[in-house]
Structure 1
Amino acid sequence: MNQQPASRYDSFSQVLHWVTAITVTVAFILGPGGFGRLMRQGVDPATRSDIVWHESLGMLVLVLTVLRLAWMALRPAAPQFQMARWMHLAAKLVRIALWVLLLALPVTAFLALGSEGHPLTLLGGVRIDRMPFIAESRVAGLADWGDVHQFLGDSIMWLAGLHAVAAILHHVVLKDGVLVAMLPQGKSR
């Protein structure tokens, strides 16, 4: 029996995609500028709701990313679209870069906190004051991980913006169903 290729992502993939996109955006907006400076001035991150929310949402991004990667191995086949070879290549490169950033951002956050001796503060009063396995590692001193984290955070927002513009271009100009494939069933226009 020949099955038609899917024209849409499955509902769970759609939910994971949009929840991740919203979570990354809100975490970026709440990202406290001058975090390291605040900590060096003795500010307790638990007293700053922007820090607590930023770090909590960052952990949620990590969980969502791991869940999405696991789901990709199990889910129905992703839809395929006819388009120029360079568009397929560009889309693949952007997707790979976004996946790398989704994983690298939480890792660099841990490296920044651990190497600078700052606590990880999460919603519900969860707090990890020290991360000696990071602070004492060789990796800790290789970079200013706070600056790396900030750069990667800016990068993911630019890349996600490019991703969104490309999806809108596909919808408005090319009318090929790329954007619709990631929208819930009743939202095709």
Structure 2
Amino acid sequence: MKNNVFAQYDKLSKAFHWVTAIIVVIAFILGPGDFGRLLDEGIDPGTRIDIVWHESLGITVFTLTLLRLLWVAVRPAAPRIQMQSWMHLLGRLMHIALWGLLFSLPLTALLALGSESNPLTLLGGFRIDKLPFIAGSHLANLADWGDVHKLLGDTILWLAGIHALAALFHHFKLKDGVLSSMLPWQVKSK
């Protein structure tokens, strides 16, 4: 591929990827680790801007992931980069895990809020005080959904970090265009 541009994902796929990644990191940073204690002390989550932002970003991630999934179904073909089959398998498994977490994190948050009868508070003053369809469901008592949500939040950050390190390995060691295919700008091969 001398003097050629590496194969690229389409612009919308890149936008979905990077915007989602940025939002997940911000939501993680704003995630109140003491959420349960705050509620036990009678603090209204709507008065905490970090909680409002965290929950709003979570809903945004879920929406973006749904839209991204629809786009994947109709977009131009993804770049095919030559690599060993075990690398393809690990890459596919990583993507499946990340996609699963992008869907399950917002769902476990709603399960945590609903099972404990806590409000969902979003930017713009939007608030749902009770999520009775969750509180009354058999899912509500299957787990401590707040703990599950926290574990999944930690997991997505660890996996995203490994994903980023793998992309850097491909870029600097293998020079195969994996990272370049998803960068917002085009990179020429050497």
Q: Which runs of 4+ in 1 moved over 4 A?
A: 186-189
Give the aligned partner of residue 26 of structure 1: 26
CA RMSD between the two structures: 1.2
Letter in 2 for 1:75: R
Rounded Cα–Cα distance in structure 1 between residues aligned with 2:128 and 2:97: 30
Q: Which moves more between the two structures, 39-48 or 6-15?
A: 6-15
Give the aligned partner of residue 3 of structure 1: none
Rounded Cα–Cα distance in structure 1 between residues aligned with 2:93 and 2:7: 21
Q: What's the offset of the Cα at 1:187?
A: 5.5
Confirm or deny that 1:73 pairs with 2:73: yes
Give the aligned partner of residue 118 of structure 1: 118
Deviations 1:79-132 (A, max 9, x none): 011111110000000000000000000100000000001100000000000011
Q: Which has the higher contact order (CA 8 A, sep 6+)?
A: 2
1:89-100 equivalent positions in 2, closer than 5 A: 89-100=89-100
Structure 2 segments unaligned to the other structure (5+ residues): 1-5
Rounded Cα–Cα distance in structure 1 between residues aligned with 2:145 and 2:127: 20
CA 1:188 to 1:164, structure 2 compared with 1: closer, same or farther past 3 Å? farther
CA 1:25 to 1:188, structure 2 compared with 1: closer, same or farther past 3 Å? farther
Rounded Cα–Cα distance in structure 1 between residues aligned with 2:129 and 2:175: 52
Q: In the comparison of the two structures, how many residue pairs are matched? A: 184
Q: What's the offset of the Cα at 1:37?
A: 1.4
Rounded Cα–Cα distance in structure 1 between residues aligned with 2:187 and 2:119: 42
Deviations 1:133-189 (A, max 9, x none): 100111000000000000000000000000000000000000000000001234669
Q: What's the offset of the Cα at 1:51?
A: 0.2
Rounded Cα–Cα distance in structure 2 between residues aligned with 1:153 and 1:33: 11
Secondary structure at the aligned position of 1:103 is classed as helix
Give the aligned partner of residue 54 of structure 2: 54
TM-score normalised by structure 1 residue count: 0.95
Q: What's the offset of the Cα at 1:40?
A: 1.4
Give the aligned partner of residue 16 of structure 2: 16
Rounded Cα–Cα distance in structure 2 between residues aligned with 1:58 and 1:151: 15
